Amino acid sequence: MEINKLNLNKNYFGKLFLILLTSIFFLDICFGGLSVVLNSQNPDPVSPGNFVYVNVKISNVDDDDIGDVTLKFLENKNFKLAAGEKAIKKVGLIPAYSGNSASTSYYIGKFKLEVSDDAPFGLNTVSFIVTQGNQEFKSDFEILVQEINPTITISDVNINTLEAGKTETLTIELKNENSISLKDVVLTLDLLNVENKVLNTISGSNKFVLGDLKPQESKKLSFDLVVSPDAESKPVILPIIVDYEDALNNEYSEDFSTSVKVYSKPELSFVLDSQEIFTKGKGKITFAVANPGTSTIKGVNIEILSNDDYDVLEGAFQYVGNLNPDDFQTIQSEVFINNDKKTSLFVKLTYSDSYNVKKEEVIEIPLKIYSQEDLVRLNLKASKSSFSDYLSLVFYLIVGIVCFWFGKKRGYNKAKAKK
């Protein structure tokens, strides 16, 4: 019984094998030469809720023509035909050897498909039925669905004007503008690429890890920034890098930048350098003009104001121009001091800071004024007018001494002659 049963099974499987072999041979005659491939999808990938153009290529690698071919799209929950599109394409005859690389006799079936709003990210199956005569077979292809170029935006940046050597808080708001979640979001302040590296974090890192951002979600983060004490007074570009991933673990990096205003109060130094006159009279006064600060000073203009104690003979108005940090120069004016009492010059300084905000100030420059007795005691020369009087007095004194000497000698000679 066991042997008969075994023989029965052998006969059964033998008949089944013949049936399958016949079926495969028949299919090979009908479809063995057809090649059906997904030629392209556009866009690739496609995002949910959008359209995708799918091109299906049908060619024949056999040496006999294959006729009466049709191509049909099968809708599913993720892909549907766009309005106005037809599901069935009548292909007709596919010439022999059209599958060769050099041939252009292949057929391209073009379908415009609509991707459902809730299509999952990743590879999703789209199916077609190829029919030849009374025979048909199904071809499945994979369409990549994901957010196209997901973007993240900096929706708000807030920071006060930064003063050199001081600290301010920088607040940044990030927003996920996409219909998908973003993960592993990291924001980095690229402080190494700030001009002259004048910005730094006072504590902690220059990176902030936000984690996940849901669709349309915003998050705020803050950094405490300190400015270098010698930072110039001008806008500084702060580069920002945002790294993140989508649900398919694709990595993205976006570069942003914001402008931070660094301000240093302009420091214009205007002092008395030297003077030729120390009492009533005419003389030159030399002033030293300098910029000891870190802010550029623009369009420096100097005016010595009128006053009853003095008259400006030359150099009442002088234009110095721009003064960069550590710049220094001198200017001269000629004045006439009207008395020998305590006197100050009043000077108006007009200039603009590095942001072109105009500044104006009036300063008092005390002069060193002495009496004639003090001039002698301090061994200082007097004014030119006083010195001229002194020379005249000396001249007349010398002339008087000479005349007296010659007169006395002449009288002595006359007396001697009489004797």
Mind listing the pLDDT tens digit for each residue in 13-72? 343 343 333 333 333 333 568 889 999 998 888 888 889 999 999 998 888 888 889 999
- How high is the pLDDT of residue 351? 96
Give the bridge partners for 287, in sequence order: 272, 331
| Domains of the chain as residue ranges with CATH | 32-145 (2.60.40.10), 152-263 (2.60.40.10), 269-377 (2.60.40.10)
What are residue 305's phi and psi, to 5 degrees?
-75, 150
Q: Which of the pair, 246 or 70, is modelled with greater confidence? A: 70
pLDDT of residue 4: 33
pLDDT band at 362 (very low <50, low <70, confident <90, very high): very high
What is the per-residue pLDDT across 71-88, written as a single tens digit (0 to 9) for each? 999 999 999 999 999 999
Q: In the predicted model, what is the mean pLDDT of residues 243-258?
A: 89
CA separation for the pair 257, 237 (Å, rounded): 7
Q: What's the whole-model pTM score?
A: 0.58
Residue 96 has pLDDT above 50, yes or no: yes
- By the 8 A CB rule, do 88 and 111 touch? no
**DSSP 8-state symbol, 215:** T
List the one residue out of 166, 168, 171, 173 whose CA is nearest residue 224.
168
What pLDDT, on the 0 to 100 scale, is given for residue 19? 36
What pLDDT score was predicted for residue 30?
A: 39
The widest CA-to-CA distance across the chain, in whole angstroms, is 200
Q: How confident is the model at residue 7 (pLDDT cuts 50, 70, 90)?
A: very low
What digits encode the pLDDT tens for the residues 129-138?
Answer: 999 888 889 9
pLDDT tens for 376-395 read 777 765 444 444 455 555 66
